[in-house]
Amino acid sequence: MHRFIPAANGNVATAPTLLLLHGTGGNEDDLLQLGRSLAPEANLLSPRGKILENGMPRFFRRLAEGVFDEADLVRRTHELNDFIIAATKEYGFSPENITAVGYSNGANIAASLLLLRPGTLKNAVLLRAMVPLKPTDNADLSGTRVFLASGLTDPILPIDNARQLAAMLREAKADVTHHEINTGHQLTSAELEVARKWLNAPT
């Protein structure tokens, strides 16, 4: 299940596309308003996670808080990549201009997509992401921009883990901006405004 909302100007083929990836317990509608505020002229592609944890949708299984089922994560990451490819053909948007915007569980699978399928995403906005896995092959993320937003007092995601992810992405040659803010796991309007300015800055 997913939602696709074409660019407001109707130019689906030339507009950028935001891939919106919700957090645990969310759905395909959760990030639509955020996506539109971040990039008013973009196409919005928003899938629902296929895994249910106590009835709550997620994008991949976990064994405990912060402990991922890596085999399932790898499988679901490749499934997500296949979904994106199919969606480019169905809706006609460019595969060369896709930005993931993920929150929590959605940010983690977006980070996994960067590491396992480099080249799929042009940019990524990772809101409350942690190291999803340590791939066996070194990804080359040259030319890929990544914005990480992390809470210094996040009880779910230790800031040191987020810093490890930033270092891992930089090692893969991504252009990483890591925004650390004195808050917890919930998002703030201030950091979303920083993300919006980052996403729309000239490159």
d(CA 103, CA 35): 12
d(CA 165, CA 124): 13
Q: In the chain, what percentage of residues exceed pLDDT 90? A: 87
Q: What residues are paired with 188 via a beta bridge? A: none
Contact 34, 20 (CB under 8 A): yes
Average model confidence (pLDDT) for the chain? 95
Confidence label for 158 from pLDDT (cuts 50, 70 and 90) = very high
Residue pLDDT, tens place only, 38-73: 999 999 999 999 999 989 999 999 888 778 889 999
d(CA 169, CA 47): 24
Provide the 10 A C-beta neighbour count for residue 2: 12
d(CA 110, CA 20): 9
Choose the catalytic residue: 46, 104, 112, 150. Answer: 104
Residue 202 has pLDDT above 80, yes or no: no
Question: How confident is the model over 161-181, as a mean pLDDT?
Answer: 97
The full set of domain ranges for the chain reads 2-200
Q: Cα angle vertex 34, ends 30, 37, to 5°?
A: 150
Among 131, 21, 125, which Cα is nearest to 68's? Answer: 131
| The predicted structure's pLDDT at residue 195 | 98
Confidence label for 17 from pLDDT (cuts 50, 70 and 90) = very high
The answer to whether residue 160 is catalytic is no
Confidence label for 138 from pLDDT (cuts 50, 70 and 90) = confident
DSSP state letter for 19 = E
Which CATH number does 2-200 carry?
Answer: 3.40.50.1820
The answer to whether residue 185 is catalytic is yes
Confidence label for 78 from pLDDT (cuts 50, 70 and 90) = very high
The answer to whether residue 142 is catalytic is no
d(CA 84, CA 76): 12
Residue 179 has pLDDT above 90, yes or no: yes
Note the pTM of the prediction, 2 decimals. 0.96
